[in-house]
């Protein structure tokens, strides 16, 4: 099993601790987990190539995009999936603020969301059949940083660095 040590892996560890508990994580440590300092996309590529047999720190969109191209990969949701809320932003003092507003409106509208979905990025408005967990929900920055530090420490203690 492999996990990323990036924010993706840290958030996944947070989900495991929250929804499965510390005992589950202790048992998982016996699985000889390889820790990789890579992105979720790169981890998906390692799974596709067979270098890593399984990883809980892969994005759904990466797996689905690769699967559509014929790659031997699939994605199965955990009890609760750590979710990145994403964002659309307009630059303060943008050189063309009205054009930026039109683009943001397009991206957030049905046509823009369809394009993102066609590219396998998904949409926050669509139900994919799994529970989404937003790790930062209800926490201020200090609280989230404290939790993320705890999750990162647990992640680094549970595997071997590659």
Which tens digits make up the pLDDT trace of 72-126? 999 999 888 998 777 788 889 999 999 999 999 998 899 998 888 887 777 777 7
Domain shared by 101 and 27, yes or no: no
CB 155 within 8 A of CB 10: yes
Domain shared by 65 and 20, yes or no: yes
> pLDDT tens across 36-54, in order?
999 999 999 999 999 999 9
Report, as an integer, the average pLDDT of 56-82: 92
User: How confident is the prediction for the chain on average, in pLDDT?
Assistant: 90
Query: What spatial distance separates the first Cα and last Cα of the chain, rounded to whole Å?
Result: 12
Rg (CA), the chain: 18
**Kind plus residue range of the DSSP H or E element containing 161:** strand 159-161
pTM recorded for the entire structure? 0.80
Report, as an integer, the average pLDDT of 19-29: 92
Domain shared by 22 and 95, yes or no: no
Q: Which residues contact 148 (CB under 8 A, 6 or more apart)?
A: 7, 10, 11, 14, 135
Residue 119: give the domain boundaries. 87-123
Number of domains in the chain: 2
- Give the confidence band of 158 by pLDDT, cuts at 50, 70, 90: confident
């Amino acid at each position: 099993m492999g996990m990323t040590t990036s924010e993706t892996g840290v958030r996944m560890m947070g989900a495991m601790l929250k929804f499965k508990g510390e005992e589950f994580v202790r048992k998982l440590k016996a699985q000889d987990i390889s820790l990789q300092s890579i992105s979720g996309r790169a981890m998906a590529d390692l799974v596709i190539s067979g270098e890593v047999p399984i990883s809980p720190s892969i994005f759904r969109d990466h797996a689905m995009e690769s699967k559509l191209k014929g790659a031997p990969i699939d994605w199965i949701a955990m009890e609760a999936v750590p979710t990145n809320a994403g964002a659309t932003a307009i630059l303060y003092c943008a050189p063309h603020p009205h054009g930026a507003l039109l683009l943001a409106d397009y991206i957030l509208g049905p046509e823009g969301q369809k394009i993102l979905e066609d590219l396998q990025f998904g949409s926050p408005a669509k139900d994919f059949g799994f529970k989404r967990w937003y790790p930062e929900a209800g926490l201020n920055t200090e609280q989230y940083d404290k939790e993320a530090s705890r999750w990162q420490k647990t992640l680094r203690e549970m595997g071997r660095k590659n």
